Chain A
Amino acid sequence: AQSVTQLGSHVSVSEGALVLLRCNYSSSVPPYLFWYVQYPNQGLQLLLKYTTGATLVKGINGFEAEFKKSETSFHLTKPSAHMSDAAEYFCAVGNDYKLSFGAGTTVTVRA
């Protein structure tokens, strides 16, 4: 069985500040981990993914995430928030033939 917990359903940051979105997972086998972004009334778009190899993963739009096996975490960060980062972000884990998604974190960016 696999599951994902995203800590915090809403995050508000100032433009230019650090964005940190937390994700913890449980999985009985080595996981594949993903972060997706969703803009209002649209589908999801892949930000980045971890499969094997380097534990620090770089994605699109300046985002990156670090896989920490000992902490079963895959937190998403961006050093400097931009207004266009306002969206909902989903962490997901997959290791069988389906992905399990977290409940999502909505990011608001203040000018």
Chain B
Amino acid sequence: DGGITQSPKYLFRKEGQNVTLSCEQNLNHDAMYWYRQDPGQGLRLIYYSQIVNDFQKGDIAEGYSVSREKKESFPLTVTSAQKNPTAFYLCASSIRPNTGELFFGEGSRLTVL
């Protein structure tokens, strides 16, 4: 079945540690996105990529980094510079850069201890 796979689903980390969240899609979509979700704030865009080897900052990129070396993969690293990293992280993709439908993964919940 085609879809988006995020891993791990739950992750705990200590303050000062970097952590990388995986996102893989087999939908052959060009565009991929990372959103952060906090209660009562909806989804906020962290980074997006419209094509391989290219990505742009979203609204809240500080403390995060990404890469897009392959069409199907768009990992997100939460660095120690992110001051409040505990959140639910959602990866999404779309056939073309937006005006279209987003397909979401199941999310990764990061808790900083």
Using a CB–CB distance below 8 Å, which chain A residues touch chain B?
A: 4, 9, 32, 34, 36, 41-46, 49, 51, 90, 94-99, 101-104
Q: Is the beta-carbon distance between A99 and B98 smaller than 8 angstroms?
A: yes
A58 to B107: give the CA distance in the assembly, Å. 27
The total number of A-B Cβ pairs within 8 Å is: 58
- Which single residue of chain A is at the shortest CB-CB distance from B104? A43
Q: Which of the residues A98, A102, A104 comes within 8 Å of B58, measured between beta carbons?
A: A98
The answer to whether B50 and A97 have CB atoms under 8 Å apart is: yes
Minimum CB–CB distance from A7 to chain B (whole Å) comes to 14
Cβ–Cβ contact B101 & A41, under 8 A: no
Q: A41-B107, A46-B101 are in contact. Are A90 and B42 (CB under 8 A)?
A: yes
Q: How far is the CB of A58 from chain B (nearest CB, A)?
A: 15
Q: Confirm or deny: B105 has a beta carbon within 8 angstroms of a beta carbon on chain A.
A: yes
Determine whether the beta carbon of A98 is less than 8 Å from that of B40: no
Chain B contact-residue range equals 20 to 34
B91's closest neighbor in chain A, by CB?
A43
Please determine whether A99 and B104 come into contact, CB atoms closer than 8 angstroms.
no
Tell me, rounded to whole Å, the shortest Cβ–Cβ distance linking B94 to chain A: 9
Q: Render B82-100 as a binary contact track against A, CB cut-off 8 A, 1 for contact.
A: 0000000010100001111
Q: In the complex, what distance in Å separates the CA atom of A49 from the CA atom of B101?
A: 8
Q: How far is the CB of A35 from chain B (nearest CB, A)?
A: 11
With A44-B90, A102-B42, A104-B42 as given contacts, are A94 and B106 in contact (CB-CB < 8 Å)? no
Query: Could you list 12 A-B pairs, sorted by A, with CB under 8 Å?
Result: A4-B42, A34-B101, A41-B109, A43-B92, A44-B92, A46-B101, A51-B99, A97-B31, A97-B98, A103-B40, A103-B42, A104-B40
Expressed in whole angstroms, the Cα–Cα distance for A46 and B102 within the complex equals: 8
- In the complex, B41 has a CB within 8 A of chain A: yes
Bound CA–CA A43/B107 (angstroms): 6
In the complex the two chains form, what is the Cα distance from A104 to B42 in whole Å? 6
Q: Please determine whether A43 and B106 come into contact, CB atoms closer than 8 angstroms.
A: yes
